[in-house]
Structure 1
């Protein structure tokens, strides 16, 4: 039996095999065909980040196959339900696939750009000291004036930590050997 596709594209899903019975009462699709010019990426968002992800935000996507290439897309949909097994929420990122580099079932890394106008203080991640379930930094005022200050961390991305409270713009913090200074100052 010859089955003709209604349009050109790539077979991205095949639900029949040699020897399968094709019946009229089976309304499932035999094949899924896509032109793959626009692709969807389903990404996991951890529960702690749900409030920071919204429809319309920009997304930068990288793959293992093309480590130097960044694909740009937008969040098209945000799930309303968390996966009960791994406590993540699914988001759908839509992006153009003009060079046909993105393939079904590829592993990707997705970085979302938050478009809200909120600002925060950022410091090197090495400057943050975690002790007794709290985050601290050592603030440098002068050679003989160092203070330990508790901070509230929003998020750490790569080697930058974003601070919600506890620091002001322009405050200088110790980012090298801060733990030694913290131990000496906190012991007072």
Structure 2
């Protein structure tokens, strides 16, 4: 039993278990990387020799449709000649009174055109071939996207074939951020969830992204799972692959029954709070805990809303112990004082009898 005077002396604080809006913040570190969906490899579909490079160093920004290199290929020249012959044949037999003959001419021309398109010759280049009537010696390959050249293997004069990668181009309008989440946090993370990303390179600035994928396996050593975020890259070169970032994921948990974390005494096997039972009495009560959010802990079972508990269980035990020691010491001193007074009175009595 702890009467109000002792409670005040101990600095004891009582709080109620209440439903509170809880928001869990997961903090971790991430690494910026390329958006794999926006990476392009440049290869030829024909054998030949590179005659000229238009993009001759790594890091160059290229526009979609911009020239990368020109290639000479005997196969390409032959395919253009076949197309021109098919075009001439269609012109000659296109007006034939025999439909089967005219259809054959159209079919031959279409097959020759498809062959050129499959070799990445553009419709504009085919139209120019029809206009000029002369095969071009070289084919100019163009960039399929806006982006930065992140790898360049092409060299002037190099012999190339379809198996060779000549350029790698990355569109950096969006980037990915890879981060690791502990397994006990995984139930809180969902695809589509907003994430806030901060970089030391841009102090005071926050970039907003979203979770786009949760990897289906754990690292057995760190007990973490990889999470992938997508992040818009405003200037396409501001966020660079390889940068490290601080990542925050905020999880709204709704209203849940909670008490201060310090109100819980963890014995290792049980979690206990001290419940006010009236007239200065406090009883230990076992509880079942849920999530801890900052300085609060969710209560799954053991308490009802409005139950009054000691705000700091450890402080309560320490203060009560110290108070008992103090009261015991004071009682001991008082006893010694009484013994001294009794002794003095006894000596005075002996003197009077003499």
TM-score (norm 2): 0.40
Counterparts of 1:1-188 in structure 2, within 5 Å, are 1-3=53-55, 5=62, 6=143, 7-9=145-147, 14=150, 24=161, 25-27=163-165, 31-36=168-173, 38-65=174-201, 68-98=204-234, 102-104=239-241, 105-114=243-252, 119-140=255-276, 142=278, 144-176=280-312, 178-182=313-317
Query: 130-139 or 57-66: which moved more?
Result: 57-66
Question: Residues 99 and 32 (structure 1 numbering): CA distance in 2 closer, same or farther, change over 3 Å?
Answer: closer
Q: Highest CA radius of gyration, 1 or 2?
A: 2
Task: Give 1:30 shift.
Answer: 5.0
SS in 2 for 1:120: strand
Q: Residues 148 and 182 of structure 1 are in contact (CA less than 8 Å); yes or no, is this contact kept in structure 2?
A: no
Question: Residues 102 and 144 (structure 1 numbering): CA distance in 2 closer, same or farther, change over 3 Å?
Answer: farther
What is the Cα-based RMSD across aligned positions, in Å?
3.6
Question: Residues 72 and 107 (structure 1 numbering): CA distance in 2 closer, same or farther, change over 3 Å?
Answer: closer
Structure 1: runs of 5 or more not aligned: none
Cα deviation, 1:45-66, whole Å, max 9, x if unaligned, reads: 2112222222223333344455
Residue correspondences, number: 176
More helix by share: 2
More strand by share: 1
The separation in 2 between residues aligned to 1:83 and 1:23, in whole angstroms, is 41
Question: Residues 90 and 144 (structure 1 numbering): CA distance in 2 closer, same or farther, change over 3 Å?
Answer: same
Task: Give 1:67 shift.
Answer: 6.0
Structure 2: runs of 5 or more not aligned: 1-52, 63-142, 322-354
Q: Residues 152 and 165 of structure 1 are in contact (CA less than 8 Å); yes or no, is this contact kept in structure 2?
A: yes
The separation in 1 between residues aligned to 2:291 and 2:160, in whole angstroms, is 54
